[in-house]
Amino acid sequence: MKPAELLEMELHVLPTLIRKHLRRGAMSIAELSDACNSSAGLVRRVVGELQAAHVNIKQRPDKRYHLIVELEPGGRSHTTLKARSDGWQLFGVTSDNHLGNKNERLDVLHKLYDIFEQEGVATVYNAGNMIDGECRFNKNDLRIFGMDSQIDYLGENFPQRKGIATYFITGDDHEGWYAQREAINIGEHMEDRLRRGGRTDLIYLSNVEHDVEFRHGSGFIVCRIMHPGGGSSYAYSYTSQKTVESFQGGEKPHILLNGHFHKHDTCSPRGVVVIQTGCTEDQTTFMRKKRLEAHVGGHLVWVKQSANGALERLRDEWIPFYDRGYYKRSFE
């Protein structure tokens, strides 16, 4: 039996050792035990604790464990949007909030949720980058450092309104940088930590993209929430067009909510209504360097479905905001 002090020290260093060895390749519990100079029982316990903490350690069919840096994308769920007396169904959209960055617009984000509440929105979809994450080129723009610190800041500052639930995906950038460095399922970790802090209204869907079936009558339409990659294009609609062109036949959604680009645009390539979601972050130093504009705002999206669930009508209402200086010049 090891003294309590030695056991405590071992438990403190084992998580780091296990991650280190699994980054080099898949290993069994016995192999990890030898590599870490620790008992198999203790190694098994720590592996289980890491998995419970959303570290992306998976067991292969050969019983070896491996550490997965790249999160599996995609997922599918379903919902029934509450219809008003006139038949219109409504949901809100926000994305690319980048909380923890000095250029965050909490004033915009809270005003959007005030509008959502006034309009009777119960469901808001968020297309990723709720927190800013950390990378070599955003360090000088950060006000909050550290993964859990940024998540706690999100929980304390993201709008919370009675009767409104926000469903979010994660991107493979910004919060995704933590996922890649720590080999952690950042979305699951965010939701778990937020719930422990009392935020049950922020619900994780999946990584990079997620399909939601809007069920109505005898059928449904599909709304895909997506955080793509790459840079902005010379025409706002070009990235939307090329994304939809890449979809194989039979897998196109009816509605696509496209985050990442910090732009507002609505177009309909190949019969898919694509809504670029905008952002709630002012232009950053990185964006200026890349000559990128920030479209600050959010959306109200109204849909009508037929008795067999088909999309009959859609209205996208863009709610625009401007830089802080505009409000100082105009209203102070």
pLDDT in tens, the chain (332 residues): 456 655 566 677 888 899 889 988 999 999 999 998 888 999 999 999 998 888 889 999 999 999 988 888 889 999 999 888 899 999 999 999 999 999 999 999 999 999 999 999 999 999 999 999 999 989 999 999 999 999 999 999 999 999 999 999 999 999 999 999 989 999 999 999 999 999 999 999 999 999 999 999 999 999 999 999 877 777 888 899 999 999 998 899 999 999 999 999 999 999 999 999 999 999 988 888 878 889 999 999 999 999 999 999 999 999 999 887 766 665 55
Distance set, CA 167 to CA 27, 50, 109, 201, 255 (Å): 36, 25, 15, 8, 16
Q: What is the reported pLDDT for 249?
A: 84
Q: What is the reported pLDDT for 138?
A: 92
Q: What is the reported pLDDT for 288?
A: 84
Report the C-alpha gap between 48 and 309 in whole angstroms: 44
In the chain the domains, ranked by start, together with CATH numbers, are: 4-67 (1.10.10.10), 76-331 (3.60.21.10)
Contact by Cβ (8 Å): 123, 214: no
Q: Is 225 left (phi over 0), alpha (psi -120 to 50) or beta?
A: beta
Q: What is the reported pLDDT for 173?
A: 94
Q: What is the reported pLDDT for 1?
A: 46
Report the C-alpha gap between 241 and 225 in whole angstroms: 16
pTM of the model: 0.89
